[in-house]
Amino acid sequence: MSTPLAPTKNDLYAYTLRQADNSMVLCQRLCQWAARGPELEEDIGLTNIGLDLIGQARSLYQYSASLFDRPVDENDLAFLRDPHEWSNLLLVEQPNGDFADTIARQYCYDAWHLPFLEQLTASNDTTLAAIAAKSVKEARYHVRHSSMWVKRLGDGTEVSHRRMQDAITAVWPFIAEMFIADELDQRMLEIDVGVDLRALQSAWESQVSALLANATLSKPIDVKAIVGGRQGQHTEHLDDLLLEMQALPRSMPNHQW
Amino acid sequence: MTHKKGYPLWEVFIRSNRGIDHKHAGSLRAADAEMALQNARDLYTRRSEGVSIWVVPSNQIVASDPDDKETLFDPAEDKVYRHPTFYSLPDELEHM
């Protein structure tokens, strides 16, 4: 049996859309911090990361749109799909909570996203590889920023330590999903287009364990994983997020500034 | 100057892409040098303003007294001969 060299258009569309959805949803979460940051400086820091993510999302949506079997554009994909059509990880849609919750979510994602992108730069698909090459520098800064805060808050005051620990515990059920490869991931991996998600896990765990230890935080154990994002089974938080994000384009279709 | 959380003030100096010196860009609040550098990157280089950042604790900067302005600076005003405009400079000499 010969291995197909190129993915089907549908597979490539769906695979690209997953990555776009991750960036878009997390961007929307970070933008919700605008004007609410704990410090003016951090307010801009978080929204800068959001801007990086929306840049990545746009490139990925444009590519997805070019692969779709009907004429659509990036805006249709971002603003006109219902929650069950979104394929982002459950982690990124979790609410902002307090600053520690946001940082826990961000760090756990960044520590996954960076090696994910590093692998994707070697993709057989030249467009995905090019988008990854551009994004990888941004992700390198993101993980530096979020890991700094995990350490500061964990190893900070009694209150910041407690909040950071609670936040790590709260995001932990959503970690396992990042490393689960479904059939699409498997097919994309076999033809060297996609990323080997399982291979990311051990590096992620050792890196995160080291930082948590450094930050005097403990790693949650025996946590029951919650999964389903890639299959469109989301937590209720995505509904609220999309309701807000899509309100304007849905109420005024094709509106121009 | 006190702040609600006690983060000290830092002065930020940025060297632009084509510049040879760091120029004062502004100030910010940060708990320590590492945070000050990251904040400076986020606040002052987001429109490609720079390729290098210095941060300095504001309280380490010693400033001249504004009341000394006349004493310190006015005497230089009528000494045009101190400007090197009366000499012809070789073409190879850059950054003058």
Which residues have a Cβ under 8 Å from the Cβ of A153 and sit 6 or more positions away? A99, A100, A103, A160, A161, A163, A164, A215
Cα–Cα dist B71/A21, whole Å:
64
A61-108 pLDDT, tens digit per residue, is 999 999 998 999 999 999 999 999 999 999 999 999 999 999 999 999
Residue B92 inside a domain? The answer is: no
Nearest CB to A41 within list B30, B34, B46:
B30
- A interface test, pick of B29, B32, B38, B46 with most A CB neighbours within 10 Å: B38
CATH value at residue B23: 3.10.20.520
Cα–Cα dist A171/A225, whole Å:
10
Residues of B within 8 A of A39 (CB-CB) are: 5, 7, 29
Query: 10 Å Cβ neighbour count for A238?
Result: 23
Gap from A159 CA to chain B (nearest CA, Å): 14
Tell me what pLDDT residue B1 has: 42
Nearest CB to B34 within list A40, A44, A148:
A148
Question: What band does B88 get if pLDDT is binned at 50, 70 and 90?
Answer: confident
Instruction: Supply the Cα-derived Rg of chain A in whole angstroms.
Output: 18
Question: Rounded mean pLDDT of A102-126?
Answer: 98
Tabulate helix, strand, coil % of chain A (nearest 5): 70, 0, 30
Question: What band does A240 get if pLDDT is binned at 50, 70 and 90?
Answer: very high
Question: What band does B4 get if pLDDT is binned at 50, 70 and 90?
Answer: low
A156 pLDDT higher than 50: yes
- A106 versus A253: which is more confidently predicted? A106
Query: 10 Å Cβ neighbour count for A20?
Result: 27
Nearest CB to A44 within list B7, B31, B42:
B42
Beta strands in A81-207 (DSSP E): none
CATH value at residue A40: 1.20.1260.10
Q: Do A40 and B30 touch (CB under 8 A)?
A: no
Tell me what pLDDT residue B93 has: 80
Single-letter amino acid, residue A21: D
Residue A223 inside a domain? The answer is: yes
Cα–Cα dist A71/A85, whole Å:
17
Q: Which residue of chain A is at minimal alpha-carbon distance from B42?
A: A45
Residue A103 inside a domain? The answer is: yes
Side-by-side strand order, sheet with B52-57: B23-29, B9-15, B52-57
Cα–Cα dist A255/A244, whole Å:
17
Residue B14 inside a domain? The answer is: yes
Tell me what pLDDT residue B2 has: 44
Question: What band does B5 get if pLDDT is binned at 50, 70 and 90?
Answer: low
Cα–Cα dist A246/B70, whole Å:
61
ipTM rounded to 2 decimals: 0.81
What are the CB-based long-range contacts (under 8 Å, 24+) for A70-79? A75/A249, A77/A17, A77/A20, A78/A24, A78/A245, A78/A246, A79/A245, A79/A246, A79/A249, A79/A250
Residue A191 inside a domain? The answer is: yes
Angle of helix A158-171 versus helix A99-120 axis, rounded to 10? 50
B84 pLDDT higher than 90: no
A226 pLDDT higher than 80: yes
Domain with B44, as residue range(s), is 9-86
Residue A256 inside a domain? The answer is: no
Structure tokens at A254: 């094709």
Query: 10 Å Cβ neighbour count for A88?
Result: 23
Tell me what pLDDT residue B87 has: 75
Single-letter amino acid, residue A170: A
How many domains is chain A built from?
A: 1
- A interface test, pick of B7, B35, B43, B45 with most A CB neighbours within 10 Å: B35
Per the prediction, chain A carries an average pLDDT of: 96
B6-46 pLDDT, tens digit per residue, is 799 999 999 998 888 999 999 999 999 999 999 999 999 98
Q: Specify whether the backbone of A20 is left (phi greater than 0), alpha (psi in -120 to 50) or beta.
A: alpha
Q: Which of A139, A140, A116, A131 is nearest to A59 (CA)?
A: A131
Please count the residue pairs, one from chain A and one from chain B, whose beta carbons lie less than 8 angstroms apart.
27
| Cα dihedral across residues A60, A62, A63, A69: positive or negative | positive
Q: Do A39 and B5 touch (CB under 8 A)?
A: yes
Cα–Cα dist A208/B20, whole Å:
40
Structure tokens at A70: 């009907």
Residue A143 inside a domain? The answer is: yes
3-state SS assignment for residue B76:
helix
User: Is there a contact between B20 and A22 (Cβ–Cβ < 8 Å)?
Assistant: no
Residue A3 inside a domain? The answer is: no
Residue A166 inside a domain? The answer is: yes
Q: Do B38 and A44 touch (CB under 8 A)?
A: no
Domain with A207, as residue range(s), is 9-251
Q: Do B38 and A145 touch (CB under 8 A)?
A: yes
Residue A164 inside a domain? The answer is: yes
Nearest CB to B39 within list A45, A144, A152:
A45
Residue B3 inside a domain? The answer is: no
Q: Do A148 and B7 touch (CB under 8 A)?
A: no
Residues of B within 8 A of A145 (CB-CB) are: 38
How many domains is chain B built from?
A: 1
Q: Which of A155, A195, A161, A153 is nearest to A178 (CA)?
A: A195
For tokens 């000290």, name the residue: B8
Name the A residues in 128-147 with CB < 8 Å from any B CB: 141, 144-145
